[in-house]
C-alpha cells in the first residue's frame, strides 16, 4: 500500500514533473491551434447559418456533388469494350458433329435406335422438333447432307465474323443472327437444320476487355468539366437560417473561413498529434543531440513554438501565411542550439500548423524547402559579428522569393493565378526573411537574459578583457590571468581542430581559475609577481591540498555572484576533474608514510569533464603549466610532456564521462605541440649581435687607417 507521503514524493519527482510540463505544453498548443476553428462555430450552429455571410471578393467553387453525378451518368453510358476470343475450336466442333452424324447413319442398328442417338446430339427442349431433326438427318441423302454442312460452314464463318456476345447468346438472339447469315435460296427445311446444328456448337466469341473498359470509363470521367459556381463580390454566400451544404462550406473556406467544426474529438486528435510531435523531437535530441537533452534549451524551444502558433492564429482569415516568421524561428533556435535542432523543430511546427489551420500544399512545400535552405545558411554563421544575422536573413529572403516564384510558375500552367497575389506573396516572403534577421538580432539579448542561456554572441561579450572579473584577475592574480590567456589559445585551437565549440572553449578557459581570486598568493604563478615566499612551505601537505583544491568550488561561488552563465560553471568545476594533487600527495607520503596516506584524500572533488571543451581545458591547463616550468624546452621535451599528461589523465579515468575519442586526443596533442613550439621559439640576442658587428667594423677601420699612415710615411721618405 502506497502511503500519502510516498505518493507526494513521486508526484514531486523530476521525471513526473517533466511529464506534467510536456502535457501542459501540449494542451496549450492544442488550445492555441484549435482556437481559430471556434470562429466557424460563431457563424454556423448545427449546420445552420446564424447570419448572412457576404463574399468580399469573387469566389469560384466547384460543385463536387453535381460534378460527380454528371461523371456517373457518363460512365453508365460507356459500352463495354469487346475483343475477339479464340474461335477455331468452334469450327472444329462443327466437323466433329458432322462426323458423329455420319457414323450414326452408317451403324448396323434399327432406324429407331439411330433416331434416338441422333436426338442425343442436340439440346432441344421440344420433343417434336428434336424428332423432326433426327428423322431428317437420318433419311436425307448423303449428298443432301453434305450440302447442308457446306452451307453451315459458310454460315458459321459469317456469324463468327459478326461476333457473338454473352448478351446475344443469353437473350435468344442467336437464331436470328444465324438465319440472317445463311446463304440465300436455302430451303426452309435446311434453314431449320442448319440453325439447329450451329446452335449446338456456337459459343460467344466476343469477351469484355475489363482493363480497356475501365480506361474508357476513366477517360470519360476526366473529360467531364467540373461544374463551377461563382459568387461575385457582394453576393451572399449563405443566408441566415440556410443549411450550410458542402458547396457552401467550400465557398466559405475560399472566403477565408476555417470551416472545421471543432468538437471534443477534433481537440483530442490535435492534442495527440502535438504529443507525438513532442515525442519525436525529444527522441531526436536524445539520440542525436544529447548535449541539449534535458536542458534549459527545451524551455526556449517551447516558448518559440507557442509564439509562432499565436502569430499563425492571429493572422486574419484570407491573409497570406507567407508572413509567418519561420526564418526567425530557425535563426533564434540555431543560435541557442544548432541548425539541425532548429530544422527538426520548425518542420514539426509546420506540420502541426498545416493540419490545424489547413494551409495549402504550395505553402507547406515552399516552407519545407526554405527551412532546409535556412539551416544551410545559418550553419555558415561564424558568430563573430551580430550583423551576420541580418545578412543571413537577406540570403533567406532571396531564397524564399526564388522558391515562391517557382511554385507560382508551375501553378500558372494549371490555373489562372492573380498577378497581384503573386506580387503580394513575393513581397511578404522577402520581408519575412529580412525582418527575421532583424527580429533575431533584437530579441537575442532579451531571450538570453530571460532564460539564462548563453549564446555564441554572449560568449563573445564575456571574452572582452574589460569584463569586471577578468580585470580583477589582471590586477589581483596576474600570473593566473597570463596562464588563462595561454590556456585559452591552446583550448580554442584544439576545439576547432576536433569540431568542438572553439568560442566556448576559449571563454571557459578565461574564467576557469577565477576561484584563485579568493587566495591568489597561495598559487605559485602569482607568488613570483608579488615577490613573496611560498606560503605552502609553512603548511602541512593536507592543509595545502585543502587550499589548492578549493579553488574550483570558490570559482563557482564567484561566478554566481557575478551572474556568469551556468555553462561556465562546468569549466570551473571540471578542469581538474577528480584528479590527484600529486605534489602534496607525494609530500604527505614522504612525511607520513604511504600506509598512512590515501589517494582519495588528495583528489579534487570533481566532477569529471562531461564535455569535449572541458576535457580539452583539463589537458591544456596541465600542459601549459608543465611546459612553463621548463627553461627553453626542446621540441622533443614538449611532445613528451603532452603525451605523458594525456596518458596519465586517460589511465586515471578522467575522460570516462566525456565524448572524446582516441582520435580526438591525438589531434589535440598534435595541435598543442604545434602551438607550444611557436610559443617557445628561440629569440635573437639583438644587443650581442650589434656589439660584435660594431667591433668588427671598428677593427677594419683601424687597420685601414694604419695602412694609410704607413703609405704616407713611405712617400715622405722616398720623394
**Placement of cell 582516441 in the chain:** 662
Position 113 scores a pLDDT of 84
Q: Which three cell numbers stand for residue 684?
A: 635573437
Residues 383, 385, 386, 387, Cα dihedral to 10°: -120
Say which DSSP state 225 is in. Answer: P
What gap in Å lies between CA 214 and CA 218, rounded to an integer? 6
Segments of the chain scoring below 50 in pLDDT: 1-2, 7, 41, 683-686, 690, 705, 712, 716, 719
Position 156 scores a pLDDT of 82
What gap in Å lies between CA 175 and CA 318, rounded to an integer? 69
Buried b (16+ CB within 10 A) or exposed e, 167-184: ebbeeeebeebbeebbee
Position 7 scores a pLDDT of 47
What gap in Å lies between CA 476 and CA 379, rounded to an integer? 40
Position 638 scores a pLDDT of 92
Instruction: Identify the helix (H) or strand (E) that includes residue 229.
Output: strand 228-231
What gap in Å lies between CA 471 and CA 464, rounded to an integer? 10
Average model confidence (pLDDT) across the chain: 83
Say which DSSP state 324 is in. Answer: S
Residues 645, 651, 657, 659, Cα dihedral to 10°: 70
Model confidence pLDDT, tens digit, residues 676-702: 987 765 544 445 554 555 566 556 655
Fold of 485-679: Hypothetical protein af1432 (1.10.3210)
Angle at which helices 127-139 and 88-106 pack, to 10 degrees? 70
CA angle 580/585/586 to nearest 5° reads 120
What gap in Å lies between CA 425 and CA 255, rounded to an integer? 18
Cis peptide before 607 (omega within 30 of 0): yes
Position 537 scores a pLDDT of 83
DSSP reduced 3-state for 603:
strand
Say which DSSP state 143 is in. Answer: H
Instruction: Identify the helix (H) or strand (E) that includes residue 208.
Output: strand 206-208
Q: Note whether 667 and 615 are within 8 A (CB).
A: no
Which residues, including other chains, have CB under 8 Å from residue 218's CB and lie 6 or more apart?
A: none
Task: Count how many residues are written for the chain.
Answer: 719
Q: Note whether 94 and 156 are within 8 A (CB).
A: yes
Position 97 scores a pLDDT of 82
β partners of residue 412: none
Position 9 scores a pLDDT of 55
Model confidence pLDDT, tens digit, residues 367-390: 999 999 999 998 888 776 778 889
What gap in Å lies between CA 544 and CA 584, rounded to an integer? 7
- For CA atoms 88, 94, 98, 100, give the dihedral sign: positive
Position 328 scores a pLDDT of 93
Closest CA to 321 of 370, 272, 378, 250: 370
Buried b (16+ CB within 10 A) or exposed e, 274-293: bbebbeebeebbeeebeebe
Which residues, including other chains, have CB under 8 Å from residue 275's CB and lie 6 or more apart?
A: 22, 23, 26
Integer CA distances (angstroms), 78 to 162, 212, 221, 227, in order? 21, 11, 10, 21
pLDDT above 90 covers a percentage of the chain that reads 35
Q: Which three cell numbers stand for residue 638?
A: 614538449
What gap in Å lies between CA 611 and CA 570, rounded to an integer? 9
Model confidence pLDDT, tens digit, residues 252-278: 777 766 565 556 777 888 899 999 999
DSSP reduced 3-state for 466:
coil
What gap in Å lies between CA 493 and CA 505, rounded to an integer? 9
Position 716 scores a pLDDT of 47
Would you give the end-to-end CA distance of the chain in angstroms? 137
Residues 252, 253, 256, 258, Cα dihedral to 10°: 100
| DSSP notation for 410-455 | HHHTTS---HHHHHHHHHHHHHHHHHHHHHHHHHHHHHHHHHT---
β partners of residue 206: 84
Amino acid at each position: 500500500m502506497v502511503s500519502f507521503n510516498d505518493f507526494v514524493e513521486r508526484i514531486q519527482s523530476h521525471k513526473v514533473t517533466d511529464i506534467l510540463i510536456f502535457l501542459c505544453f501540449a494542451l496549450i498548443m492544442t488550445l492555441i491551434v484549435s482556437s481559430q476553428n471556434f470562429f466557424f462555430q460563431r457563424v454556423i450552429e448545427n449546420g445552420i447559418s446564424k447570419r448572412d455571410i457576404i463574399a468580399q471578393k469573387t469566389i469560384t467553387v466547384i460543385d463536387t456533388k453535381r460534378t460527380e453525378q454528371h461523371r456517373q451518368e457518363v460512365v453508365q453510358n460507356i459500352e463495354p469494350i469487346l475483343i475477339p476470343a479464340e474461335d477455331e475450336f468452334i469450327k472444329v466442333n462443327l466437323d466433329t458433329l458432322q462426323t458423329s452424324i455420319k457414323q450414326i447413319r452408317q451403324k448396323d442398328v434399327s432406324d429407331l435406335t439411330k433416331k434416338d442417338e441422333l436426338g442425343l446430339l442436340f439440346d432441344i427442349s421440344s420433343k417434336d422438333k428434336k424428332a423432326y431433326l433426327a428423322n431428317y438427318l437420318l433419311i436425307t441423302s448423303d449428298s443432301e447432307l453434305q450440302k447442308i454442312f457446306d452451307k453451315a460452314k459458310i454460315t458459321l464463318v459469317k456469324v463468327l465474323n459478326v461476333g457473338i456476345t454473352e448478351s446475344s447468346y443469353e437473350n435468344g438472339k442467336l437464331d436470328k443472327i444465324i438465319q440472317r447469315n445463311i446463304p440465300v435460296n436455302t430451303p426452309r427445311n435446311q434453314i431449320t437444320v442448319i440453325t439447329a446444328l450451329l446452335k449446338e456448337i456456337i459459343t460467344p466469341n466476343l469477351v469484355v476487355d475489363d482493363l480497356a473498359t475501365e480506361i474508357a470509363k476513366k477517360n470519360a470521367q476526366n473529360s467531364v468539366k467540373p461544374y463551377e459556381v461563382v459568387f461575385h463580390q457582394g453576393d451572399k454566400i449563405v443566408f441566415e437560417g440556410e443549411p450550410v451544404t458542402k458547396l457552401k462550406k467550400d465557398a466559405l473556406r475560399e472566403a477565408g473561413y476555417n470551416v472545421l467544426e471543432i468538437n471534443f474529438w477534433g481537440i483530442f486528435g490535435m492534442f495527440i498529434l502535438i504529443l507525438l510531435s513532442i515525442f519525436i523531437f525529444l527522441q531526436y535530441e536524445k539520440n542525436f543531440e544529447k548535449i541539449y537533452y534535458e536542458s534549459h534549451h527545451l524551455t526556449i524551444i517551447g516558448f518559440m513554438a507557442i509564439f509562432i502558433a499565436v502569430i499563425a492564429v492571429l493572422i486574419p482569415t484570407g491573409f497570406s501565411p507567407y508572413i509567418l516568421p519561420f526564418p526567425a524561428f530557425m535563426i533564434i533556435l540555431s543560435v541557442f542550439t544548432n541548425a539541425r535542432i532548429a530544422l527538426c523543430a520548425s518542420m514539426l511546427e509546420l506540420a502541426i500548423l498545416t493540419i490545424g489551420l489547413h494551409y495549402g500544399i504550395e505553402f507547406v512545400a515552399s516552407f519545407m524547402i526554405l527551412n532546409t535552405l535556412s539551416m544551410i545558411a545559418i550553419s555558415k554563421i561564424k558568430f563573430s559579428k551580430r550583423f551576420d544575422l541580418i545578412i543571413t536573413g537577406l540570403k533567406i529572403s532571396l531564397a524564399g522569393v526564388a522558391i515562391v516564384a517557382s511554385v507560382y510558375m508551375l501553378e500558372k500552367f494549371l490555373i489562372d493565378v492573380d498577378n497581384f497575389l503573386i506580387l503580394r506573396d513575393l513581397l511578404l516572403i522577402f520581408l519575412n526573411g529580412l525582418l527575421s534577421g532583424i527580429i533575431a538580432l533584437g530579441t537575442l539579448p532579451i531571450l538570453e537574459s530571460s532564460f539564462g542561456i548563453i549564446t555564441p554572441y554572449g560568449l563573445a561579450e564575456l571574452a572582452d578583457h574589460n569584463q569586471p572579473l577578468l580585470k580583477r584577475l589582471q590586477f589581483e592574480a596576474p600570473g593566473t590571468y597570463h596562464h588563462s590567456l595561454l590556456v585559452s589559445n591552446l583550448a580554442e585551437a584544439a576545439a576547432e581542430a576536433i569540431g568542438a565549440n572553439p568560442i566556448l572553449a576559449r571563454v571557459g578557459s578565461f574564467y576557469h581559475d577565477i576561484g584563485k581570486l579568493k587566495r591568489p598568493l597561495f598559487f605559485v604563478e602569482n607568488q613570483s609577481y608579488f615577490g613573496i615566499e611560498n606560503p605552502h612551505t609553512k603548511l602541512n601537505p593536507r592543509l595545502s591540498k585543502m587550499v589548492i583544491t578549493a579553488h574550483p568550488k570558490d570559482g563557482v561561488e564567484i561566478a554566481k555572484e557575478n551572474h556568469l552563465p551556468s555553462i561556465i560553471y562546468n569549466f570551473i568545476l571540471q578542469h581538474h576533474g577528480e584528479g590527484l594533487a600529486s605534489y602534496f600527495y607525494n609530500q604527505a607520503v614522504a612525511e607520513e608514510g604511504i600506509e598512512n596516506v590515501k589517494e582519495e584524500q588528495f583528489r579534487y572533488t570533481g566532477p569529471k569533464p562531461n564535455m569535449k571543451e572541458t576535457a580539452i581545458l583539463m589537458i591544456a591547463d596541465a600542459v601549459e603549466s608543465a611546459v612553463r616550468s621548463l627553461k627553453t624546452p626542446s621540441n622533443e621535451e614538449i611532445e613528451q610532456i603532452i603525451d605523458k599528461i594525456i596518458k596519465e589523465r586517460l589511465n586515471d579515468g578522467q575522460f570516462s564521462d566525456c565524448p572524446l575519442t582516441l582520435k580526438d586526443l591525438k589531434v589535440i596533442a598534435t595541435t598543442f605541440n604545434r602551438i607550444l613550439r611557436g610559443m617557445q621559439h628561440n629569440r635573437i640576442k639583438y644587443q650581442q649581435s650589434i656589439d660584435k658587428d660594431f667591433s668588427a667594423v671598428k677593427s677594419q677601420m683601424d687597420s685601414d687607417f694604419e695602412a694609410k699612415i704607413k703609405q704616407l710615411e713611405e712617400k715622405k721618405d722616398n720623394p
